[in-house]
């Protein structure tokens, strides 16, 4: 299970997902979300994303595009530079 929170002080942000799930994200308060929801927020500057060990299997089978987004989000170095 992953977590999202706003990375700066601002008004809470709420989302209703296509499946009807509702989330409210606040600064300084981690909101539990599914791995898929967290991946959807990769690259969004206003959010801090935290993955847990339980997300490992889901992320290991991610597409090449998602892996590239994860590398960029978390500053993974390959060959001495950020990919």
Q: How many CA atoms lie within 13 A of 24 on its CB side?
A: 5
Between CA 32 and CA 62 the distance in angstroms is 20
Q: Is the pLDDT of residue 82 over 90?
A: no
- Asked if 70 contacts 62 with a C-beta cutoff of 8 angstroms, the reply is yes
Q: Which tokens go with 12?
A: 């809470």
Q: Report yes or no on whether pTM surpasses 0.85.
A: no
For residue 69, report the phi and psi dihedrals to the nearest 5 degrees. Answer: -65, -40
| Close Cβ partners of 74 (under 8 Å, ≥ 6 residues apart) | none
pLDDT digit string (tens) for 11-47?
A: 999 999 998 999 999 999 999 999 999 999 998 999 9
């Amino acid at each position: 299970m992953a977590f999202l929170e706003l990375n700066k002080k601002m008004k809470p942000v709420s989302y209703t997902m296509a499946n009807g799930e509702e989330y409210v994200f606040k600064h300084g308060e981690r909101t539990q979300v599914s791995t898929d929801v967290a991946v959807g927020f990769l690259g969004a500057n206003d959010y801090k994303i935290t993955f847990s060990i339980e997300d490992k299997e889901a992320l290991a089978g991610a597409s090449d595009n998602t892996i590239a987004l994860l590398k960029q989000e978390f500053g993974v170095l390959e060959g001495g530079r950020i990919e």
